[in-house]
């Protein structure tokens, strides 16, 4: 069964290639169904490989499939091969599974889009790249996938690039990710020059040998990898692009910017755990503390956002911070566990948000929502499951994984735990705020657009709506909004994900070693680098109770503020929080100042010099008409001046070096 | 004596060179080129390379510059070009700066080296005819024939360079013919067909007509527009140069 | 009569021996060019149009074939059976035949064959008289061979001029396009300036070392410790300007975009491959081989040039909208990578430069083949929007261009990846970590440029999706057989050596230059 390994990425690749050639001819909805079936096929193949590996003994659960040796001899040996081990298969399982659901969802969501088939082309390409990332058996393939998902993310964010904001968000993602990629490349380079191989198994063998790698080198590699991971997984200070990336279509936000791509940083660090084990202690600590800071920082911002997708975006950043805390504390299983459950519930939340946005005529402002649970019962029900999961209410999946992460933090440092608990409480708070503002309370959507109503008649009609009861408004939609349940392609994935989000915790129940399925499964790839929990069972119970109480407190506070109106929401939604602690603005200002000027200079250079040179010469060509004159448009003089100045610089340098 | 000759002829060369680029009338410029070439010939004599001096005068000053003048007069551009139009802001200043820098550096190198060259004067080791021993024991330098020395250099050390110059001349001839020849038929602009595979509306294309070179009256050129475009070039060039 | 001729006069100059076998490829190529010129001028009316390109291809192949026995000879070590093996020089040590020069000879032969195939259809399409183009191209390539083989600075200079002047004329050859004339003129004026500087550099080097012969210069520099190296270092600077101009290194690159945009596209392919290769050959011969003992003096300059070239080439390319201009900046950034290899100043660095040049030559000729076909009559439609959707209407051309762009971006499984990889690792081996890092950064940035072109040809152009229009578009670009052969060869080269670079890099390692006396 595990021989099917190469089939997993082949499916989306075939889908991508077919759509590229014939996507337009297939049209809607054929292209969507085709893409979905390809990813579904990949999921089936992954499941087959999974069961194949499951049949093996724990120690032998590694299957390497080398498609071909890229350069068999010589110093640089890289094979083009896939690695089927517990980690990559676990990743591939949830990636293909969630992707299938989101593809299905997108068929409904993208209905009527003029670039329908192109969207699925990108999605399939993304799945392929993501699978390359997790299944590549060497860093170079991982890097290829890494670049591939980045490119897809960039394309998909600016998918509707008629919109200026979307295009600039795409650029922002591109630029921030460059910083991260640079870190990854340097790390790869360093690995290659110290270890001599990029293949994971060879690399780990040599790293784990007694005099495998110097501590300083390992530390440098880890730090560089973390820069890469921080770029991709939106950690402070490179998180900037993720909230903006929400400009893309919602299925993209769910798939790429919540469930899969953004977690690849966590995957990378987990994969490289032997190197982390060799590095100086401060490196993992740094990862944990930056993760914590990001978790707290993003949570505070999420509290004050009004755009439903922005809330979820900051929530994603915050949850990724949780995972990094776990990685930094050495509990990789907790990180992967949280990554998987997070993929379930965050994909669910995003898709639910998409469903709401879909129903609300593409309005994303939560202030215009309210009482939607009546209009969209399925969306609301599934969304509530996701909300309870992320808030850490037992027995939903988020509780179990978050509890593991908190335990990891507690093992590491008490302060870390305390602050992380605070972040968890805030998570519960802002998610509850989102749910209450969207699905409960009073409907605000009938009068939401008063200011925009220029026509007196419309205003009058809306006034009439105001008088109606909340229920009536829901049943008799206003002139502005027609909240409605989404088509089945959209709610089926929601239900499926809700199911997963609810019971996902069984993957790794902490009651005994036998119920820690994920931990047992991942054991072979951690090489004993997983930190052992020393806390007693009593402490664990106590921590769990703290976590539950924290979640409940968060929800309660939100209820007090947004349902009962006991607390003034203005105090909570401080402008500085709404603006993300002005960090984004500061960066933008810097970019708008010196940075922007540099960029402007390049643009100006293009517009005035390059274009001007062409147009200028062309103009003179037509007016003057003399050929010889062409050479004297001034440009040759300028070029010659450039050459001469260059000469002067070179000669100056050499004169400075002369010995006489 | 040698030094005086050197400095005088060097001054003539420099003045001639400056004249070529400064004088506004192309005929005058061509004539000042003669001065430069003549000065070089004097330098050759100063170094006792008589044959080269003669060749210099006959070939360069005699043939090549005369050819230049023919062309200038035939094509009829014997009027002053307006080279003082400054299409690029500060270009001149930069050029002057660069030139000054170059001069200073060359002077520095010259001072640093103080004439301490490794190469040998030509008539010391390239002599073919032996020096004559005088009866009183002193030697008179041989009557070295420049032609012989040149021949020896050309047919031994530099024989390959000498031979492949033929290729260069071939290229020059072919190139001159190719560039001077008008294509058969009229100089029609190429048909401006829109390629059918361009799925978008292409931008407006400037007509690429080649007009008669003799029609070149450039007085009506709009200086302002070029100034803007090219000022940009100016700044960018220096930026890059600084980098 | 014969008797008289056979008896030398007593004071005859002893002329040097000529090893004709070593000169064979050069003689075939340049002789072939002159012969073609003679044939077409004598029998112009009897010669069919297909004759000249076929003839040129055959001459190119003959040149390459003639180089093979030389290659086997010079890369062997001398043995009792074959004492003549190993590098040698001829014509009074002015023409060196070593692995390095033979490698370049083969490369130029390949370029001549490919560009001749490509140019055939182009010249017909643009109605340009053919024979002169082929003659000039062959002569220019001979100049390249001379540069790569020169053991004397004067010979090097002549090779440079033969190479360049022919290319100036070729650039201006499209007499119906004013841009072409302009390109030729600009290239000529600036090229003349740089040649003058180069010549001045030769003079200063001669002044400092007393010879123009590279062998003697190297002997001199290794035997004599110069108390005063001012003249020599000034010579270095000026020689570097000359080479830097030809390879389009920043800040001597300013001509590149204009000339690439204006010159006929096949000529641009020739410039980007052959001229760049020849200039790097000369640079390596002069700086690495001859001035190797002074490498601490020139290495930092190459370092600076490389960084400036990499950065300008990659960053400015991003804002371009014209495909030929984009590829011009891309060629500048490639010059930067090559300088990274030169800067290493090791045998390995030299080998990586050779590998890079070979890989790049094929990729760039392939790219410009597609551009030639896609931009239509008069090379007029070269903006990014003009080629939008190309890959959907002509998938084969699109895939080919994609392969070349991926190769130039340095994506794995193309020869371009190994080219970049080897160069960067050579720099790292030479402890130039900063340069290696900048090179990688530039690679990341430059990837964007290639991505943009790929996006344009694959994804843009949705506005018109009328099936009939698409069908009409399919008939829009004929792919003549010559161009088809070029595409097959270049794509094949790029992919085969992307998967299996071993033979090529081994060959490049064998081709390390040597200065032989002869």
Average pLDDT estimate for A606-635 = 42
Q: Which residue has the higher pLDDT, C37 or C177?
A: C37
C237 with A647: Cβ contact below 8 A: yes
Q: What tens digit of pLDDT does each residue of C310-356 get?
A: 988 887 777 677 888 889 989 999 999 999 999 998 888 999 999 99
Cβ-proximal residues to A468 (8 Å cutoff; 6+ apart), any chain: A446, A476
Q: What tens digit of pLDDT does each residue of B199-230 get?
A: 333 444 344 433 334 433 433 444 343 333 44
Q: Residue A588's domain spans which residues?
A: 579-619
The answer to whether the CB of C425 falls within 8 A of the CB of A174 is: no
Q: How many CB atoms lie within 10 A of CB C413?
A: 17
In terms of Cα–Cα distance, which of C134, C145, C171 is closest to C53? C134
pLDDT at residue A657 in the model: 80
C251 with B240: Cβ contact below 8 A: yes
B195 with C15: Cβ contact below 8 A: no
How high is the ipTM of this complex? 0.87
Considering chain B, what is the average pLDDT of its residues?
Answer: 68
pLDDT of A475 > 60? The answer is no
Asked if residue C334 has a cis previous peptide bond (ω within 30° of 0), the answer is: no
Tally the domains of chain A: 2
A602 with C233: Cβ contact below 8 A: no
Lowest mean pLDDT segment, chosen from A458-467, C117-126, C344-353 = A458-467
Q: What tens digit of pLDDT does each residue of C145-188 get?
A: 999 999 999 999 999 999 999 999 999 988 888 888 888 888 99
The answer to whether the CB of C253 falls within 8 A of the CB of C224 is: no
The answer to whether the CB of A110 falls within 8 A of the CB of A147 is: no
B208 with C179: Cβ contact below 8 A: yes
- Asked if the C-beta of B130 comes within 8 angstroms of chain C's C-beta atoms, the answer is no
DSSP category for residue A83: E
pLDDT at residue C412 in the model: 77
The answer to whether position A636 is within a domain reads: yes
Q: What tens digit of pLDDT does each residue of A332-343 get?
A: 888 888 888 888
Q: What tens digit of pLDDT does each residue of A138-150 get?
A: 888 888 888 888 8
pLDDT at residue B125 in the model: 44
B210 with C176: Cβ contact below 8 A: yes
Report d(CA A208, CA A277) in Å as an integer: 9
- Asked if the C-beta of C394 comes within 8 angstroms of chain B's C-beta atoms, the answer is yes
For chain B, count helices (H), then strands (E).
9, 2
Q: Which residue has the higher pLDDT, C268 or A658?
A: C268
The answer to whether position A349 is within a domain reads: no
In terms of Cα–Cα distance, which of C147, C182, C375, C409 is closest to C269? C375
Burial class (CB in 10 A: 0-12, 13-18, 19+), A228: buried
pLDDT at residue A476 in the model: 38
pLDDT of B117 > 70? The answer is no
- Asked if the C-beta of B21 comes within 8 angstroms of chain C's C-beta atoms, the answer is no
Per DSSP, the residues of B6-24 read HHHHHHHHHHHHHHHHH-S
Distance from CA of C393 to the nearest CA of B (A): 7
Chains that touch B (3 or more CB pairs under 8 A): A, C
In terms of Cα–Cα distance, which of A406, A387, A334 is closest to A502? A387
Report d(CA C170, CA C185) in Å as an integer: 11
Report d(CA A72, CA A78) in Å as an integer: 8
The answer to whether position A520 is within a domain reads: no
Q: What architecture is the B1-100 domain classified under in CATH?
A: Up-down Bundle (1.20)
Contacts of A174 in chain C (CB under 8 A): 448
The answer to whether position A267 is within a domain reads: no
Q: How many CB pairs under 8 A join A and B?
A: 115
Per DSSP, the residues of A315-377 read HHHHHHHHHHHHHHTT-HHHHHHHHHHHHHHHHHHHHHHHHHHHHTTT--BGGG---TTTT-H
pLDDT at residue C223 in the model: 86
Average pLDDT estimate for B176-183 = 80
Distance from CA of B138 to the nearest CA of C (A): 25
pLDDT at residue A299 in the model: 86
Average pLDDT estimate for B109-122 = 63
pLDDT of C24 > 90? The answer is yes
B165 with C158: Cβ contact below 8 A: yes
Contacts of A115 in chain C (CB under 8 A): 462
Handedness of CA A556, A561, A567, A572 (dihedral sign): positive
Query: Any idea what the Cα angle at residue C184 is, between residues C181 and C186, rounded to 5°?
Result: 105
Q: What tens digit of pLDDT does each residue of A347-400 get?
A: 888 888 888 887 777 777 777 777 777 777 888 888 888 888 888 887 888 888
pLDDT at residue C403 in the model: 92
Report d(CA C175, CA C181) in Å as an integer: 7
pLDDT of A618 > 60? The answer is no
Contacts of B236 in chain A (CB under 8 A): 605, 609
The answer to whether position A640 is within a domain reads: yes
Lowest mean pLDDT segment, chosen from A98-107, A122-131, C219-228 = C219-228
Average pLDDT estimate for C94-99 = 90
pLDDT of C41 > 60? The answer is yes
Classify C213 as helix, strand or coil: strand
Q: What tens digit of pLDDT does each residue of B93-115 get?
A: 777 888 888 888 877 777 777 66
Average pLDDT estimate for C468-488 = 73
Handedness of CA A127, A129, A133, A135 (dihedral sign): positive
Interface with A, mutate which of B26, B71, B74, B98 (most A CBs under 10 A): B98
pLDDT class for C473, splitting at 50, 70, 90? low
HSE at residue C481, side-chain half, CA atoms within 13 A, is 3
Give the CA distances from residue A401 to residues A87, B16, C104, C211, in Å, rounded to whole numbers and listed in that order. Answer: 17, 87, 63, 78
The answer to whether position A648 is within a domain reads: yes
pLDDT at residue A468 in the model: 39
Give me the percent of chain A exceeding a pLDDT of 90: 1
Average pLDDT estimate for A289-296 = 89
Return the top range by mean pLDDT from A250-254, A529-533, A619-623, B159-163: B159-163
Burial class (CB in 10 A: 0-12, 13-18, 19+), A471: exposed
Contacts of A658 in chain C (CB under 8 A): 228-230, 233-234
B102 with A622: Cβ contact below 8 A: no
Strands A63-69 and C88-90: unpaired
The answer to whether position A169 is within a domain reads: no
C 28-57 → B contacts, CB under 8 A: 30, 33-34, 37
pLDDT at residue B45 in the model: 87
Report d(CA A221, CA A206) in Å as an integer: 15
Give the CA distances from residue C287 to residues A221, A616, C191, C305, C513, in Å, rounded to whole numbers and listed in that order. Answer: 36, 40, 21, 14, 12
- Asked if the C-beta of C365 comes within 8 angstroms of chain B's C-beta atoms, the answer is no
In terms of Cα–Cα distance, which of A645, C195, C191, A630 is closest to B237? A645
Q: What tens digit of pLDDT does each residue of A95-110 get?
A: 898 889 888 888 888 8
Distance from CA of B179 to the nearest CA of A (A): 12
Cβ-proximal residues to A208 (8 Å cutoff; 6+ apart), any chain: A274, A278, A527
| Nearest Cα residue in chain C from B200 | C461
Burial class (CB in 10 A: 0-12, 13-18, 19+), A538: exposed
Asked if residue A237 has a cis previous peptide bond (ω within 30° of 0), the answer is: yes
- Residue from the list A80, A189, A650 with its beta carbon closest to the beta carbon of C301: A650
Considering chain A, what is the average pLDDT of its residues?
Answer: 76
pLDDT class for A577, splitting at 50, 70, 90? low
B226 with A633: Cβ contact below 8 A: yes
DSSP category for residue A473: H
pLDDT class for C471, splitting at 50, 70, 90? low
Q: What tens digit of pLDDT does each residue of B43-64 get?
A: 988 887 888 888 889 988 888 8
pLDDT class for C401, splitting at 50, 70, 90? very high
pLDDT of A616 > 60? The answer is no
Query: What pairs with residue A365 in β-bridges?
Result: A307
Query: Any idea what the Cα angle at residue B175 is, between residues B190 and C95, rounded to 5°?
Result: 135
The beta strands (E) that lie in B73-136 are given as: 132-133
- Asked if the C-beta of C264 comes within 8 angstroms of chain B's C-beta atoms, the answer is no
Long-range pairs, C465-470, Cβ under 8 A, ≥24: C465/A24, C465/B199, C469/B196, C469/B199, C470/B199, C470/C392, C470/C393
pLDDT at residue A302 in the model: 83
The answer to whether the CB of C277 falls within 8 A of the CB of C357 is: yes
- Residue from the list A625, A644, A658 with its beta carbon closest to the beta carbon of B216: A625
Cβ-proximal residues to B201 (8 Å cutoff; 6+ apart), any chain: none
Average pLDDT estimate for B30-37 = 90
Distance from CA of B113 to the nearest CA of A (A): 8
pLDDT class for C274, splitting at 50, 70, 90? very high
Report d(CA C236, CA C227) in Å as an integer: 17
In the block, residue with structure tokens 């607390």 = A567
pLDDT of B123 > 60? The answer is no
Lowest mean pLDDT segment, chosen from A246-260, A271-285, C329-343 = A246-260
C 194-253 → B contacts, CB under 8 A: 204, 206-211, 213, 220, 228, 230-231, 234, 250-251
Q: How many CB pairs under 8 A join B and C?
A: 215
- Asked if the C-beta of A645 comes within 8 angstroms of chain C's C-beta atoms, the answer is yes
Q: What tens digit of pLDDT does each residue of B126-159 get?
A: 444 445 566 666 655 555 567 777 888 888 888 8
Average pLDDT estimate for C42-62 = 89
Q: How many CB atoms lie within 10 A of CB A344?
A: 31
The answer to whether the CB of A614 falls within 8 A of the CB of C265 is: no
Lowest mean pLDDT segment, chosen from A267-276, A450-459, A646-655 = A450-459
Average pLDDT estimate for C86-108 = 90
pLDDT at residue C247 in the model: 93
Contacts of C448 in chain A (CB under 8 A): 174
Interface with C, mutate which of A24, A76, A610 (most C CBs under 10 A): A610
pLDDT of A454 > 50? The answer is no
B216 with A626: Cβ contact below 8 A: yes
| Nearest Cα residue in chain A from B216 | A626
Report d(CA A505, CA A337) in Å as an integer: 9
pLDDT at residue A620 in the model: 41
Average pLDDT estimate for A50-73 = 73
- Asked if the C-beta of A656 comes within 8 angstroms of chain C's C-beta atoms, the answer is no
Q: How many CB atoms lie within 10 A of CB A585?
A: 12
Chains that touch C (3 or more CB pairs under 8 A): A, B
Average pLDDT estimate for C137-143 = 95
Average pLDDT estimate for C70-87 = 81
- Asked if the C-beta of A21 comes within 8 angstroms of chain C's C-beta atoms, the answer is yes
Q: How many CB atoms lie within 10 A of CB A156?
A: 28
Give me the percent of chain A exceeding a pLDDT of 70: 78
pLDDT of A410 > 70? The answer is yes
Q: Which residue has the higher pLDDT, A548 or B77?
A: A548
pLDDT of A596 > 60? The answer is no
* Token pair for B189: 């602009």
Report d(CA C360, CA C332) in Å as an integer: 12
Contacts of A628 in chain C (CB under 8 A): 185
| Terminal Cα distance for chain A, rounded | 77
The answer to whether the CB of C494 falls within 8 A of the CB of C366 is: yes
Average pLDDT estimate for C227-250 = 89
The answer to whether position A586 is within a domain reads: yes
Residues C74, C79, C82, C85, Cα dihedral to 10°: 10
- Asked if the C-beta of C383 comes within 8 angstroms of chain B's C-beta atoms, the answer is yes
A605 with C440: Cβ contact below 8 A: no
Report d(CA A41, CA A15) in Å as an integer: 10
Average pLDDT estimate for A232-236 = 82
């Amino acid at each position: 069964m595990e021989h099917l390994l190469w089939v997993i990425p082949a499916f989306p690749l075939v889908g991508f290639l077919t759509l590229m050639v014939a996507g337009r001819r297939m049209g809607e909805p054929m292209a969507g169904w085709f893409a979905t079936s390809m990813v579904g096929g990949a999921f089936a193949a992954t499941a087959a490989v999974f069961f194949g590996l499951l049949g093996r003994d724990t120690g032998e659960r590694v299957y390497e499939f080398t498609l071909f040796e890229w350069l068999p001899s010589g110093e640089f040996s890289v094979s083009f091969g896939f690695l089927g081990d517990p980690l990559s298969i676990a990743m591939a399982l949830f990636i293909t599974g969630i992707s299938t659901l989101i593809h299905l969802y997108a068929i409904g969501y993208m209905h009527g889009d003029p670039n329908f088939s192109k969207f699925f082309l990108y999605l399939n390409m993304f799945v392929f790249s993501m699978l390359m990332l997790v299944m590549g058996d060497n860093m170079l393939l991982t890097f290829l996938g890494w670049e591939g998902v980045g490119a897809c993310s960039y394309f998909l964010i600016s998918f509707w690039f008629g919109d200026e904001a979307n295009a600039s968000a795409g650029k922002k993602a591109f630029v921030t990710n460059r910083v991260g990629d640079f870190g990854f490349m340097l790390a790869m380079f360093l690995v290659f020059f110290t270890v001599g191989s990029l293949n994971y198994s060879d690399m780990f063998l040599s790293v784990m040998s007694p005099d495998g790698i110097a501590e300083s080198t390992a530390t440098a590699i880890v730090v560089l990898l973390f820069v890469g991971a921080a770029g991709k997984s939106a950690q402070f200070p490179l998180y900037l692009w993720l909230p903006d990336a929400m400009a893309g279509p919602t299925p993209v936000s769910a798939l790429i910017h919540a469930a899969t791509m953004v977690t690849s940083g966590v995957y990378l660090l987990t994969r490289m755990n032997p190197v982390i084990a060799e590095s100086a202690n401060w490196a993992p600590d740094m990862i944990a503390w930056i993760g914590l800071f990001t978790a707290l920082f993003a949570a505070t911002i999420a509290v004050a956002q009004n755009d439903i997708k922005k809330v979820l975006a900051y929530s994603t950043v915050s949850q990724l911070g949780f995972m990094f805390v776990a990685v930094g504390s050495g509990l990789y299983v907790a990180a992967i566990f949280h990554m998987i459950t997070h993929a379930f519930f965050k994909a669910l939340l995003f898709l639910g948000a998409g469903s709401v946005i879909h129903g609300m005529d593409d309005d994303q402002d939560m202030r215009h929502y309210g009482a939607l649970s009546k209009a969209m019962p399925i969306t609301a029900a599934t969304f509530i499951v996701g909300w309870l999961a992320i808030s850490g209410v037992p027995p939903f999946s988020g509780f179990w994984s978050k509890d593991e992460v908190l335990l990891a933090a507690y093992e590491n440092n008490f302060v870390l735990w305390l602050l992380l608990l605070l972040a968890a409480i805030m998570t519960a708070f802002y998610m509850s705020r989102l749910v209450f503002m969207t699905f409960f309370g009073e409907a605000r959507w009938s009068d939401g657009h008063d200011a925009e109503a220029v026509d007196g008649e419309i205003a009058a009609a809306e006034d009439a709506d105001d008088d109606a009861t909340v229920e009536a408004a829901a049943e008799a939609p206003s002139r502005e909004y027609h909240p409605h349940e989404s088509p089945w392609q959209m709610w089926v994935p929601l239900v499926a994900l809700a199911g997963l989000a609810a019971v996902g915790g069984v993957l790794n129940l902490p009651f005994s070693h036998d119920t820690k399925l994920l931990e047992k499964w991942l054991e072979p790839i951690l090489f004993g680098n997983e930190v052992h929990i020393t806390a007693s069972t009593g402490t664990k119970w106590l921590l769990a109770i703290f976590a539950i109480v924290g979640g409940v407190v968060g929800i309660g506070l939100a209820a007090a503020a947004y349902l009962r109106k006991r607390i003034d929401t203005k105090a909570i939604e401080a402008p500085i929080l709404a603006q993300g602690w002005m960090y984004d603005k500061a960066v933008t200002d810097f970019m708008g100042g010196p940075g922007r000027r540099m960029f402007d200079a390049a643009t100006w250079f293009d517009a005035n010099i390059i274009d001007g040179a062409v147009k200028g010469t062309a103009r003179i060509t037509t007016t003057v008409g003399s050929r010889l004159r062409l050479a004297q448009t001034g440009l040759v003089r300028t070029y010659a001046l450039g050459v001469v100045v260059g000469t002067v610089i070179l000669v100056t340098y050499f004169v400075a070096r002369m010995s006489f | 004596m040698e030094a005086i000759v050197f400095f005088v002829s060097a001054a003539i060369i420099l003045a001639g060179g400056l004249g070529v680029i400064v004088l506004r009338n192309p005929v005058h410029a061509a004539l000042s080129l003669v001065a430069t070439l003549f000065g070089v010939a004097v330098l050759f004599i100063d170094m006792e390379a008589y044959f080269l001096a003669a060749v210099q005068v006959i070939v360069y000053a005699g043939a090549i510059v005369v050819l230049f003048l023919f062309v200038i007069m035939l094509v009829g551009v014997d009027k002053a070009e307006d080279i003082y139009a400054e299409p690029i802001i500060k270009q001149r200043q930069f050029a002057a700066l660069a030139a000054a820098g170059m001069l200073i550096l060359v002077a520095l190198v010259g001072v640093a080296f103080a004439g301490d060259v490794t190469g040998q004067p030509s008539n010391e080791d390239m002599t073919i005819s032996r020096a004559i021993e005088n009866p009183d024991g002193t030697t008179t330098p041989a009557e070295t024939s420049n032609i012989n020395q040149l021949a020896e250099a050309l047919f031994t050390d530099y024989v390959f360079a000498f031979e492949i110059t033929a290729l260069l001349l071939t290229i020059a001839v072919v190139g001159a013919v190719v560039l001077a020849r008008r294509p058969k038929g009229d100089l029609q602009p190429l048909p401006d067909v829109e390629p059918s595979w361009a799925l978008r509306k292409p931008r407006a294309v400037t007509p690429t007509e080649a007009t008669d070179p003799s029609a070149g009256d450039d007085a009506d050129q709009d200086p302002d527009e070029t100034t803007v475009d090219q000022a940009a070039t100016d700044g960018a060039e220096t930026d890059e140069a600084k980098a | 009569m014969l008797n008289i001729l056979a008896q030398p006069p007593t004071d005859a100059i002893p002329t040097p021996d000529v090893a004709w076998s070593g000169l064979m490829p050069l003689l075939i190529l340049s002789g072939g060019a002159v012969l073609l010129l003679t044939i077409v001028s004598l029998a112009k009316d009897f010669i069919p149009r297909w004759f000249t390109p076929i003839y040129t291809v055959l001459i190119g192949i003959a040149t390459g074939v003639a180089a093979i026995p030389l290659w086997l000879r010079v890369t062997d070590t001398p043995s009792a059976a074959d004492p003549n093996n190993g590098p040698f020089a001829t014509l009074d040590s002015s023409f060196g035949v070593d692995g390095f020069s033979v490698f370049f000879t083969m490369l130029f032969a390949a370029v001549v064959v490919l560009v001749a195939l490509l140019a055939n259809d182009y010249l017909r399409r643009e109605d340009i008289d053919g024979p002169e183009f082929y003659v000039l191209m062959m002569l220019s390539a001979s100049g390249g061979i001379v540069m790569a083989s020169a053991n004397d600075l004067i010979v090097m200079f002549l090779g440079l001029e033969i190479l360049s002047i022919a290319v100036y004329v070729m650039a201006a050859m499209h007499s119906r396009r004013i841009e072409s004339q302009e390109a030729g003129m600009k290239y000529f004026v600036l090229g003349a300036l740089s040649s003058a500087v180069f010549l001045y550099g030769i003079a200063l080097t001669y002044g400092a070392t007393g010879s123009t012969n590279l062998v003697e210069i190297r002997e001199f520099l290794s035997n004599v410790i110069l108390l005063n190296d001012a003249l020599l270092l000034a010579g270095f600077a000026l020689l570097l300007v000359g080479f830097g101009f030809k390879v389009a290194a920043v800040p001597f690159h300013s001509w590149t975009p204009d000339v690439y945009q204006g010159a006929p596209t096949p000529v641009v392919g020739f410039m980007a491959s052959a001229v760049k290769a020849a200039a790097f050959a000369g640079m390596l011969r002069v700086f690495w081989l001859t001035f190797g003992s002074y490498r601490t003096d020139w290495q930092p300059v190459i370092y600076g040039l490389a960084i400036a070239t990499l950065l300008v080439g990659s960053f400015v390319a991003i804002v371009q909208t014209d495909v030929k201009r984009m590829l011009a900046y891309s060629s500048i950034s490639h010059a930067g990578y090559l300088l990274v290899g030169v800067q290493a100043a090791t045998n390995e660095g030299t080998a990586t430069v050779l590998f890079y040049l070979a890989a790049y030559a094929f990729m760039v000729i392939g790219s410009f083949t597609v551009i030639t076909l896609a931009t239509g009559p008069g090379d007029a439609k070269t903006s990014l929007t003009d080629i939008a959707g190309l890959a959907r209407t002509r998938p084969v051309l699109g895939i080919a261009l994609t392969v070349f762009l991926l190769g130039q971006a340095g994506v794995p499984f193309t020869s371009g990846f190994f080219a970049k990889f080897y160069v960067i690792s050579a720099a790292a081996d030479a402890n130039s970590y900063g340069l290696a890092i900048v090179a990688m950064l530039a690679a990341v940035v430059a990837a964007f440029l290639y991505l943009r072109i790929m996006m344009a040809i694959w994804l843009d152009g949705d506005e018109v999706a009328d099936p009939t229009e698409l069908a009409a578009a399919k008939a829009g670009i004929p792919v003549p057989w010559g161009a088809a052969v070029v595409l097959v060869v270049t794509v094949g080269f790029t992919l085969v050596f992307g998967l299996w670079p071993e033979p090529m890099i081994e060959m490049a390692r064998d081709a390390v230059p040597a200065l032989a006396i002869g």
